[in-house]
Structure formats: C-alpha cells, structure tokens
Chain A
C-alpha cells in the first residue's frame, strides 16, 4: 500500500507530462508504467490539428479547434489550457537542452521518411521543416549505408513533388562503419553521432556536397540521442541547415523527448514504478480510493487523492474489446463511447478522406476531464482521463495525437 497525492497511470507522452505537471505544482506523484510508452515509436513532434473532419488541411490550428464538434476532446480541454500546456512544455524542453518552437496559429511542414510533408505545430530545431525550405537551391538527401527503413530515392522523388522541381536534388550516402553485423537502426547512427569521431566523420563525408547556405541536408532521425547539441555541431560545421525527417520506429527524437521528461521527473523526486500493470481499482461511490497493480507475483495498492488515466486507449490496451461493441476500460470500468454499427466501424480507404470509426472509441469527459456516462453525468469525481483514452477523435486522421495528449495531461494535472 503506497500513498501519494496523485497517481498517474501510463508512461506515454500524456502520462509523463501529467506526472511532471503535477509534480511541478508541488504534489507527491507516483507514476505507474507498463512498457516503454509511445515515445520510442513516435517522432516526438507535437501535432495539434492538421486536418478537419472532412480532411481539409487546417491552416490555423487554434482557430480550427473552435469549429470542431462538441464531442471532440479539444472542446472539453479548451484553447486556454492548450496554450498554457504549450508554454509549460516549451519551458521544460528548453531547460533540458532541446528547445521546441512553432506556433498554434500556423503549421510547420516536416518531411516524413518517404519525403512527403506533414503538418505539425511544435518541433525541435532539427525538425523545423518549412522554416528552412525557403531560399534553398539544392536539397541533399543523406542516406546511411545499411540503415533499415530509409529509402532515399523514394524520399527524393516525393520531395521533388512537395518542394518543386525548381531546385537541384542529390542523393548521397554516408558510411558509418557500423555495417557488417545486423541491420543498423537510426538509434545506432545517433549513438555513433554522440561521439566526436562520429560527428567528425559524418561532416567530413558531407562537406563536399554543401559549403553554401543555400544547400539543405535532409537526414534520417540520427542527430544524437540526447538534446540538440549534435544538431548544432553538425549544422555549424556544414555551414548550412540540416533537417531531420520523421521516421519509422525506433524514433530517436521521440526518445530524446522521453529522456527530457523522465529526467525531469527524477529531478522532481517522482516515484516511477515500471513494469507494473494496473488491473483494477477500489472505489467508494464516485471516489476512487486506490488502484490495484500487479507486481512480479502479487498485487499492490496505490492510494491517492487523485488519479490520472493515461493508458493509451484502444491502441495500448487502455481500452479493450473482447466482444464486438462491448468495449471495456479495465481499471475503473468507465463507460466507453464508440461508433455503433459494424458498417461504421472502419473505413476501408486507409488513407482516405474520412476518419476510422473504431479510432473514435474512448471515454467522454466533462471540462475537468472527469469521465462521464452517456447522459453526461460524472461517474468518478477524482479521476481524470487524458491522451488516447479520450473518445471522439481519430488522432491519426486529423494529426492531433501529441497535441491532445499534451493539453489534456496538463489540464488534468492542474485540476
């Protein structure tokens, strides 16, 4: 039996952020995690809202939020909490040597692993796509010899379409000397670039293709495992901008962000209990007394005044569905909202112009992010629901995953 003021369940972006925001208010926090969370799998850029319900591109995210349907999590979170959350987040990132920038009223366009451009709002400097495109006459796409899941030629073709044929494009390959064993990953290359020998070799191999400020180097997510010092060193040595793309996992930038948040939690003295699956709760009417979590061989109760649920929804086991149309939230047994009717469950056009019905499965809340039932009545008064546990939005379709996670986590911690 452990007591703290706040228990946060979930170690993804939402859970880590909620725990940090609560700890910074001076509350004692216990964070319960199971698995690594989503950050090693996502690019660590903060999408706020890229597309509306009809898949129209959103020019101004904060303005578009006003027009979202009432059931969308942003409508409960509110614009003010979103703005405060962004300020909070940027402060944490800056303090931890990986400043994020961007704005809520326009999109930053960042290149993906296949050279298309995707809208996002906050990025570290190494991923600030559209800020560095203007004035670039030559784009050098940098491949890494032996790197898995990076296809330079596809990327170059797509970049030509996205950025215009009016520029010169070149594909080059850097040899890291890491080949010969298994396939190498972006993380291997980032570790190599953490070393002085790595950065020296990398810049030496690329120097011949640049030398002018109108050249842009586009590289996979490899510029160091922590902070943005490696990015600064390499761009200054090459004398021009270097830009990372989003990528397939493992995502180095997502892990940089994970380091920032975990290091900050440690600094604040937050107890992190890893590898513990929360399986139930002890309730008294509309109040949760404790959650029950599994240890290697037993169960343990974590008591708190307030609980923040950040278990990742449908994608991460935070919501399960053993029988069709019978979704369950296993910890608090919260009512789960979902799109009814088999015909509305999926959109067979995977990249089509309508959201996936199943993706909207989740928990509906009031403005304090307390879970509510179908009639809108709060079911548990000291539980707040954040991130992908929230219902009513398809984060993938509308490009709003980390934005909703950040804003809801911050607001829940401040309630």
Chain B
C-alpha cells in the first residue's frame, strides 16, 4: 500500500465527512429513509457516525439499510461522498463479522458465471435449476427474495458473440467494457453497442483481461476483493490510455465504479488517472455529435419512449446524453420518468429482508410507467431494468439497442 501514490488528503473522499454542515439535504433525498423508518439516514450514519467509527470500534447497525444508490451524494451541497463513507464503514464491519452465504452469492456473480460457462451446457442447466430453485423456495431459504427471478444466463457470452462479428477495420478505436451483466446475461446489448460504434467509424476492442468492476463486492462489504478487481481493471485502463484509446461502458454502475468509486474508496492516484479514460457510451456519442462527427444516417423511429435515468448515471455529472442522441433519431420522443430511484440498487433488492423496501421505493416508478403508456421504456442499468420488469410487466431495453436498430 505504502508505495502507491495516493491522492492528496484534502481531496480524498474518506475525509469529506468533515465538510458536512448537517443541512439534511441528503436525508430529504434518501429513498430508503422514505420507505423505512429503521434507517437513521445518510447524515447520521455516514458523515456523523462515520467519522467516529474510523477511530473507534463501534458499529451503527442501520448502516445495513443503505443501498448505495448515491442520491445523498448528489443532494449534498458540500461535496461529501456520503454513500462511499457508508460503504467504507460496511467494509470495516465485515472485517470483524462473518458474511452470510447469501451475501457471498450476491457478491460473486462473476465467479459463478465463469464456473458455469466452463461446463458444457452449464448455463442451460443453471437457468433450469434457478427456475426450480425459485419454485421450491430454495433462494428464499437462503435469504434471497423468493419473489424475484434470478437473471438468466445467455446461451453464449458476449465475448463469444463478439468473435463472430466482422467489424470494418478502422484507425479509430474504442475499448468496450461489457461488465458481467452484458457479458453473461444480455450479450445482445454489447452486440448493439458494437454496431453503433462501427456505424460511427470506430472499431471496438474487447479486452478479456478486465474482470467484474467490483460494484456487487463493494455494496456487500467485500472491499479487499473489490480492491483486487480495481487494481486489475485500473492497470488495463491505463494500458489503453497510454495508447490513446478510451474505454466505454454501457452499464452505468460499472462506469461509475471505474471512473469514480475506485478513486473514492481507495484514494490512489492511478485510479484517478484511469478514471479520466472511461466514458459512458452515450456520453462518448454526444461528444462525437458536438464535433459534428456523429453519424445521423438513422431511420425514423416513430415512438414515445419513457426513460428511467439510473441513479448511477445521474451521479456521473454528465446529464442525460442518451436524450441528446435520441433527438437525432427522427420521430423519436423521450420523456423522463423523473421519479427517483427504482429501489433495486444492484443486489439490494435481491435481499429478502430488503425486498419490501425495494418494492416500496419502486412504487412511484411503477405507477409512472403504467400511467405513461409509452411505446417503449428505456434504461441504461441492468438491475433497474430487472426491477421495472418485475414491478410493471413491461420489457425495458437499453437505449443503445434502440439506436442500433435505427441505424440503416
């Protein structure tokens, strides 16, 4: 640790608790507080208790209710990294307390997916097993919300699909970071991304040395493991940065982790340097558009889309670039759902003891979607989309899928 160059102390997220004025903005924007009286709220748990916690061995148990949606970070006028302080405290707690089998499973989706993909027909049997498991109540007995469907594995991974794509060669290149969800569950989103980039004159590189961004590990308190993931991914991002090739992601929780949360959690200069080379896919397209380099040879899509903007996209400080790009699709109209967090927050909504809170938070979005009767629901985040499917029986898609289809 000591040989690593650290970010200057006054810029480190871990010390931002001292900027808290106790103004309550974080509390009035916390979706968990709105749904559950057990959570004492971001202000009292993160900056207030967090500062004492790092010097003394005591635990604020209601910390367990934080979903890391980061609504508090966005609300804070003083730059306190509220949710990160919570995640650091959670990690500290699990240094001295055992994890449940449930948490182990929810945190290590990538490990499971890798094992299953190594076995012939492994994912097929796993999907079958999951539906049986659900009906027999096995997940429920493990502490996983039995009412939810576990995400199904795709029959082949994005990495396998990618090899089949004949890309036009180009000097302009981007590296795609698919993340676990696209790689193992929804590879068609990655395929759509490649098509969009090819249409814009870019050749896509897939770097198979990347691993899970670590988001599920961080929120479940496996911080040391997340740190290992961070080091691996940061070294890869810096490798590409040296060659002048940016890294793009379609999953907004992955991109937030790669570009901001590593730096906040671990405070290393290399993470900050790497973060500069990471972009959200639509952010990158919007940058092309601003330079007049975005390919607008797009078929009309006469449809009204309702867009649920994921919390982890809002946190990135880039606005809603998909909205700007959809303005370039003739006939397409985008309306923002604008009702706050969906309640899923990664693996939070999968926890049996958080299921009711998760669904209560989601109510506003569910009724907004049902009332809007839009032609399509779009959302960049895989777990938000799961929550929307579960709560509304609609079938949301990633906005890149719509754009890919619209290209001639």
Interface string of A287-298 (1 = CB under 8 A from B): 000000111111
Are B314's CB and A316's CB within 8 A? no
Most buried by A among B24, B286, B323: B24
Closest chain A residue to B283, Cβ basis: A295
Kindly identify, within residues 257 to 278 of chain A, every residue whose CB is under 8 Å from any CB belonging to chain B. Answer: 262-263, 266, 271-277
Interface string of A1-24 (1 = CB under 8 A from B): 111000000000000000000000
Interface string of B23-66 (1 = CB under 8 A from A): 11101110001101111110010000000000000000010000
Contact of B319 (CB < 8 Å), options: A182, A271, A317: A271
Kindly provide the distance from the CB of B226 to the nearest chain A CB, expressed in whole angstroms.
Answer: 18
Interface string of A277-308 (1 = CB under 8 A from B): 10000000000000001111110100000000
Closest chain B residue to A35, Cβ basis: B77
Interface string of B268-308 (1 = CB under 8 A from A): 00001001101100010011001100000000000000000
Known contacts: A35-B75, A178-B37, A184-B37. The answer to whether A297 contacts B319 by CB under 8 A is no
Kindly provide the distance from the CB of A261 to the nearest chain B CB, expressed in whole angstroms.
Answer: 13
A36 within 8 A of B: yes
Q: With the chains together, A34 CA to B80 CA distance in Å?
A: 12
Contact of B260 (CB < 8 Å), options: A178, A266, A272, A297: A297
Contacts of A78 in B (CB 8 A): none
Are B317's CB and A3's CB within 8 A? no
Q: With the chains together, A316 CA to B38 CA distance in Å?
A: 31
Contacts of B75 in A (CB 8 A): 35-36, 40
Q: With the chains together, A37 CA to B78 CA distance in Å?
A: 11
Contact of B74 (CB < 8 Å), options: A185, A274, A298: A274
B73 within 8 A of A: yes
Closest chain B residue to A31, Cβ basis: B319
Are A275's CB and B275's CB within 8 A? no
Are A187's CB and B40's CB within 8 A? no
Contacts of B291 in A (CB 8 A): 1
Contact of B27 (CB < 8 Å), options: A2, A185, A275: A185
B318 within 8 A of A: yes
Are B38's CB and A181's CB within 8 A? yes
B127 within 8 A of A: no
Kindly provide the distance from the CB of A133 to the nearest chain B CB, expressed in whole angstroms.
Answer: 30
Contact of B317 (CB < 8 Å), options: A41, A271, A293, A316: A293
A98 within 8 A of B: no
Closest chain A residue to B35, Cβ basis: A191
Are B318's CB and A296's CB within 8 A? yes
B338 within 8 A of A: yes
Q: With the chains together, A182 CA to B44 CA distance in Å?
A: 10
Kindly identify, within residues 124 to 183 of chain A, every residue whose CB is under 8 Å from any CB belonging to chain B. Answer: 178, 180-182
Known contacts: A2-B290, A275-B73, A316-B77. The answer to whether A295 contacts B28 by CB under 8 A is no
B185 within 8 A of A: no
Contact of B316 (CB < 8 Å), options: A178, A185, A275: A275
Are A182's CB and B24's CB within 8 A? no
Q: With the chains together, A272 CA to B44 CA distance in Å?
A: 29
- What are 6 A-B contacts with C-beta separation under 8 Å? A1-B291, A36-B77, A188-B37, A276-B318, A296-B260, A297-B260
Extra pairs beyond A36-B28, A274-B74 (4, CB < 8 Å): A250-B27, A276-B318, A296-B317, A297-B263
- Those 4 A-B pairs whose CB atoms lie nearest each other, nearest first: A181-B37, A35-B77, A297-B275, A273-B319
> Which residue numbers of A lie inside 8 Å of B, CB to CB?
1-3, 30, 34-37, 40-41, 178, 180-182, 184-185, 187-188, 191, 249-250, 255, 262-263, 266, 271-277, 293-298, 300, 316-317
